[in-house]
Structure 1
Amino acid sequence: MMRMKMKILLVQADRDAGTFNTLTAAFFIPSIALEQVAACTPQGHEITMVNEWYGKVDTGIDCDIVGISAFTKDAFRAYTIADEFRARGIPVVLGGYHPTAMPQEAKQHADAVVMGEAEVAWPKLLEDVEKGRLKEFYGGKKVDGGTIPPARRDLNGYHSFFAAIQATRGCPYKCEFCQMTGFGDTLHRKRNVAEVV
C-alpha cells in the first residue's frame, strides 16, 4: 500500500501565546513534546511545528491533521485552537498531560485523544487516518528508554536560550501530589547515553 503524504501541524498550546521573553525564560525549560512526536512520525509526511511560547498559531494554515499538546494551564487555549481547526473540517488530535488526565473532556474538542506517551500511539494513529479509521482514544503503552528516538530539533525553528535534554522518563517514587504517580508512570526508564549526548 502506498503511503498518503499528509501535511501535519504540531502545536504546543500556551495560554499566554506569544508572551515568552527572556525574563520568564530563566524559569522555564521548553517542552520537547513536539520534537519527540515529530521524531516518531513515519517518513514522507510534511511536518510543521508551532510552539506558542514564541507566537500564536495561525488556525488558517493549510494542513491535513493537527496534533496539539497541552499542559493543564493551557487546556482552554488548546481547546480553542482545536475547535477552530475542527470548524474547518480538519481532524484534531489532543495529547499531553491535561488530555491524559481528562480524556473525556479533551474528546469534546478533538477527533482523537492520545493518553500517555505518544511514541507508540502516534504512528498507529497516522496509519488509521490514512485508512479512514481514526479511533477516539490511543495510548497506554510505555516506551522502553532504549527505543526513544532523538528529538527532531531541526524542525522547531526557534532560538531558545535553553535546550531540553531528556535522559530518563518516569520516576521510581509514588508521591501523592505528583502527576507522574497519577499517570502510573512509576517505572524509571533510562535512555542510551550515546543518544542523549
Structure 2
Amino acid sequence: MSMKRPAPELDPDANPASVARAIVLRQLTNSPKSRHQLEQKLVERHIPGEVSQAVLDRFEEVKLIDDAEFALLWVRSRSQYKSMARSALKRELAERGIAPELIEDALGQITQEAEDAGAEELVRKKLRSSVDLADRDEREKYTRRWVAMLARKGYNPSSAFTVVGKVIDQALADETP
C-alpha cells in the first residue's frame, strides 16, 4: 500500500522562482504536460501564485509549454495506440485543463471513419478462434463484453453495437464455406 506523501514545504531560504523552474523542468522531463497540470504541481509544492504564474508564462514564451501542441500530441497518441474515442479524449483533455477551442482543434484530426476503424480493430483483436459465434449465447456474451470494452474507451453504445455486430457478421461470413 503506497501512501501519498505530503508535499514538502518550500524552504524559506530558497528562491521560489528557482524552485518553481526546477519543478517545471523536472515535470516536463518525464512527459509533456499542460499548463494546468504544471500549475497544480506548483500549488502542491506551495509555490506562491504570482511566482508560479511568472515562471509558467516564461515557459510558454519559450515554447516549453504549449497547450495546443500538447492537445494535438495527446489526441494523436491516445487515438492511435489506445484506440480511444473522441468523447473520452475530450474528457481527458478537459481534465488536464485544456481550453475547449484547443480540444476541438485537436479532435479535428480524427475522422469518424478512423474512429470506427479503431473500434473495429479493437474488437477484432479480442476475437479468438475458440469463440463459437454461431452459438447464440456465446455471441450475446461476447457482444456484451466487447460493447462494454468500447464504452470504456469512450464509444457511444449505438456505434459500439454497430461495430461489434459488423465484426461478428464478418467473422461468421468467414467461417461459412
- Would you say same fold, with TM above 0.5? no
| TM-score (ref. length: structure 1) | 0.23
The structure, 1 or 2, with the larger RCO (C-alpha pairs under 8 Å, 6+ apart) is 1
Structure with the largest fraction of helix = 2
Report which of the two structures shows the higher radius of gyration computed on alpha carbons: 2
Return the TM-score normalized by structure 2.
Answer: 0.25
Structure number with higher strand proportion: 1
